[in-house]
């Protein structure tokens, strides 16, 4: 069934972008496929006859404006987002369109919150509407329930494997260069740049994963999204050691194992929030962190366009949406349990 809405996807031919285009099409959205490489856009169109293709570059604002003509919203799936987020947000604001991206880059997300906090007042700008950033935020927000604050939040990731895409590697390189040998953590209610090795510990995940060695302070976009609206002074993210090491190892790109293009990778996200002596927990399970970003961001754009939101401006998923209801809508892509 057609929704009557058209969504522009910048970076439509990338690994995650292709999942986003497929999800939009499956859910009845019209799609404008955009990006700087016209040849790749045409290859994408060859697989999807009738696809509206519009070449655009972040270095050419007029081309971005043309790409967004007639669209109702824009999803930015083109990294590194340190280069693409601001120009595409600017274009969305000029066109009066909601903007969503799938950025996992901490620096890009920080830039978006800081640079557009005032300029996007009354508009809708949702950074990190992806596996890293949105999912942890939605889980933590839902776990909080009626709590208005908490002492700490812990988000632990167990990936069966992690074969990063070329886009992930490029974005990671940009982040490492900007950090200049430091890493980021959120402690004492603020972001800190620190030096030194990542701390290691053991995290007991729900069955069947069980106890696994993890890197603590393996900081993901959750430390930007969660504190943007929840009063939690300590937010820590963890990653299983084996998966973390694969990010910096020369591995192949994700390999498809089904018709949708998903890889065999599975994930478990274990979120714990604590306040006083009380602890609350939610767990999410699914397959392929890149593929599952598509239902996350498409569900988000649908809710924005149909008015099911609670806030405007530069906002995270947990702030703008009803977190528990949003998570329930993600079945069967993601299974959530307490």
Q: What's the pLDDT tens digit per position in 3-17? A: 999 999 999 999 999
- Position 295 pLDDT exceeds 70: yes
In this prediction, residue 173 carries a pLDDT of 79
pLDDT of residue 52: 97
Domains belonging to the chain, first-starting first, are 6-131+293-322 (3.40.50.720), 134-288+327-337 (3.30.360)
Alpha-helical (H) ranges within the chain are 15-26, 38-47, 61-68, 81-95, 106-116, 136-144, 166-179, 222-225, 241-247, 293-305, 317-320, 323-329
- Structure tokens given for 58: 């972040």
Position of tokens 């999800």?
A: 23
Q: What is the pLDDT of residue 67?
A: 98
Q: Taking all residues of the chain, what is their mean pLDDT, rounded to a whole number? A: 95
pTM of this structure: 0.96
Residue 204, both tokens: 């007991």
Taking only the tens place, the pLDDT of each residue in 143-159 is 999 999 999 999 999 99
Q: What average pLDDT does this structure show over 188-212?
A: 95
Whether 127 contacts 107, CB under 8 Å:
no
pLDDT over 70 (residue 250):
no
Q: Mean pLDDT highest for which of 47-51, 243-247, 265-269?
A: 265-269
Q: Both tokens of residue 164?
A: 């990063």
């Amino acid at each position: 069934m057609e929704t009557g809405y058209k969504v522009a996807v910048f970076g439509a031919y990338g690994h995650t972008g292709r999942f986003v285009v497929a999800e939009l099409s499956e859910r009845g959205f019209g799609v404008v496929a955009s990006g700087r490489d016209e040849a790749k856009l045409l290859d994408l169109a060859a697989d999807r006859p009738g696809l509206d293709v519009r070449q655009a570059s972040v270095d050419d604002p007029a081309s971005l404006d043309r790409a967004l003509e007639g669209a109702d919203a824009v999803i930015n799936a083109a990294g590194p987002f340190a280069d693409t987020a601001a120009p595409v947000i600017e274009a969305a604001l000029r066109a009066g369109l909601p903007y969503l991206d799938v950025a996992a880059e901490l620096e890009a997300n920080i830039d978006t919150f800081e640079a557009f906090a005032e300029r996007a007042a009354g508009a809708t700008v949702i950074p990190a509407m992806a596996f890293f950033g949105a999912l942890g935020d939605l889980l933590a927000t839902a776990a909080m329930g009626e709590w208005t604050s908490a002492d700490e939040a812990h988000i632990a990731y167990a990936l069966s494997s992690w074969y990063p895409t070329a886009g992930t590697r490029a974005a990671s390189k940009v982040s490492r260069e900007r950090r200049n040998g430091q890493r980021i953590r959120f402690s004492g209610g603020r972001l800190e740049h620190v030096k030194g090795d990542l701390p290691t510990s053991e995290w007991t995940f729900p069955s069947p994963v069980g106890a696994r060695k993890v890197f603590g302070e393996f900081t993901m976009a959750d430390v930007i999204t969660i504190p943007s609206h929840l009063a939690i002074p300590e937010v820590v993210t963890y990653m299983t050691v084996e998966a973390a090491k694969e990010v910096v190892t020369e591995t192949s790109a994700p390999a498809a194992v089904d018709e949708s293009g998903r890889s065999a990778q599975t994930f478990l996200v274990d979120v714990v929030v604590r306040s006083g002596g009380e602890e609350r927990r939610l767990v999410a399970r699914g397959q392929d962190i890149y593929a599952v970003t598509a239902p996350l961001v498409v569900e988000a754009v649908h809710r924005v366009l149909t008015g099911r939101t609670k806030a405007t401006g530069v906002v995270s998923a947990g702030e703008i949406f009803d977190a528990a209801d949003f998570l329930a809508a993600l079945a069967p892509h993601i299974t959530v349990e307490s």
